[in-house]
A and B are shown apart, each in its own frame.
Chain A
């Protein structure tokens, strides 16, 4: 990688790291927005490990987010420190991923998407019904002080880890196996690729990120309820972001989440009504006319090349 490849990421890094040091009230708003953007970008990036590299559209990615949020929230309330809670969240999510991968990865293509989508609703209902543990539909409250700056840094750090993980996996043997499954699973299996093991590994790795993000989310917001962390819109948003940006490329989910989140903010502030419809229209147009997402559009590709950020697209 040449030096100029570090120019844009470096500038972004400096801006993000330096922002909390700016002594203006205005930055609070920007930081809140960025925190949520990092959250969505992290979700989209980790979704894309399974959705883009492995080629299985996992509409239930948000399940791990909710699991992480509830694990950390419940443990926090009995006095477990955050770091231990986050580790527990990763363990819970990875264990859950390992268990569900056995029945679910026997399903192919859209069948898999259907079943994982149903999982979201199942988890929402279970969280609603286990009142003793989760507080049911009235939600779970934790007592914590103002955590704006630490959450901001933590979510940003996690996003960077997610991007680096994606890049590393794309170059690894595991990534090669995942891509071979995406292109033709039957052929991959016949050539000796251990498909079931690779799929389970991919899901487990991709589950760790939403679990930690969920834990940080509850720590930041101090309140969660099933309708929010297992909501259908919440489930579909990261998927839409990853596809919009360019599934299968490390830069794709980043571009997609920034674009969609920015657009959403723009629509919310400019128009009074029909925000959802406008957003829906954009999503439809992207699906119709940009099969490869933003990152594979000619002008964007050329720009990325000039910045030295273009990846091998296989």
Chain B
């Protein structure tokens, strides 16, 4: 195995991990603020992938333009989702609220999945935009430019998120509620609104990941729940409440899938879950959890 293939594997792993981390960050944001395990998270990714595909396929809009146009709509969708389905549960006892939220988001996931399957009956099941840009060659390494652009977009979105969380009032409020909801409320933060904003933002990130996913890979109506599960792995592995941990977790899973998958394809998908159990044995709070 030469240096060329090793580099190729590492690059693919990092690029794949970037998209994972983006969507997982959204889920982590939602979980951090509301404490809700949003089982419908992956469905928003799938839905946005679908809409992006339709926009490209039917209307002929450039997919990279769609990446900027469609996910903001999903912010509103996520906000509405929280408003209608999650907020009414707020006053229940802790373990009852957890159970209710699990039911509600699971039910929503089933609805999204089934409606999308129904809508795509008679068309191809895996939606994919076969977008093609010539590869770059640096020395002896071939760089897939499409994936590089996507990775660039992922970094841009993450930087924006970091800026938002650090320098805006709403972003700081999101962090405050994540750390201590009661304390934030006592300091005058409107926690109900912040919950909605967190859902909106998280859904926005999932949608962006979905749009990117459909450009360089494919999206089918059934990917939602399995993807949600993978993001949960990433979050728990990185450490709940630590956004750097989520990025690290995404990177580790992307890399391990790419490298292990190269040698033994069958174990490529397994390694994420094995790693998670391994990490939990050594550090129950995740890699960067406190």
Instruction: Give the shortest distance, in Å, between A104 (CB) and chain B (any CB).
Output: 7
With A104-B280, A182-B95, A232-B225 already in contact, the answer to whether A118 and B115 are too (CB < 8 A) is no
Bitwise, A2-24 to B at CB < 8 A (1) or not (0) is 00000000000000000000000
Q: Does B76 touch A at the CB level, under 8 Å?
A: no
Complex-state Cα separation, A55 to B85, whole angstroms: 22
With A280-B110, A283-B110 already in contact, the answer to whether A117 and B88 are too (CB < 8 A) is no
Instruction: Give the shortest distance, in Å, between B164 (CB) and chain A (any CB).
Output: 24
Task: Check A109–B104 contact: CB distance below 8 A.
Answer: no
Task: Check A122–B118 contact: CB distance below 8 A.
Answer: no
Q: Which residues of A have CB within 8 Å of B94?
A: 109
Main secondary structure on B side of the interface with A = helix
Instruction: Give the shortest distance, in Å, between B90 (CB) and chain A (any CB).
Output: 12
Bitwise, B238-278 to A at CB < 8 A (1) or not (0) is 00100000000000000000000000001101100110110
Selecting from B145-153, B184-192, B195-203, B229-237, the interface stretch reads: B229-237
Q: Does A239 touch B at the CB level, under 8 Å?
A: yes
Complex-state Cα separation, A40 to B104, whole angstroms: 20
With A240-B103, A287-B100, A291-B96 already in contact, the answer to whether A118 and B88 are too (CB < 8 A) is no
Q: Does A304 touch B at the CB level, under 8 Å?
A: no
With A113-B37, A276-B114 already in contact, the answer to whether A244 and B99 are too (CB < 8 A) is no
Main secondary structure on A side of the interface with B = helix
Instruction: Give the shortest distance, in Å, between B249 (CB) and chain A (any CB).
Output: 12
Task: Check B99–A57 contact: CB distance below 8 A.
Answer: yes
Task: Check B98–A107 contact: CB distance below 8 A.
Answer: no
Complex-state Cα separation, A104 to B229, whole angstroms: 16
CB-CB nearest in chain B for A111: B240
Question: Which of B146-180 touch A at CB < 8 Å?
Answer: none
Task: Check A129–B104 contact: CB distance below 8 A.
Answer: no
Task: Check A240–B270 contact: CB distance below 8 A.
Answer: no
Q: Which residues of B approach A to under 8 Å, CB–CB?
A: 31, 35-37, 85, 88-89, 92, 94-96, 98-104, 106-111, 113-115, 117-118, 225-226, 229, 232-233, 235-236, 240, 266-267, 269-270, 273-274, 276-277, 280-281, 284
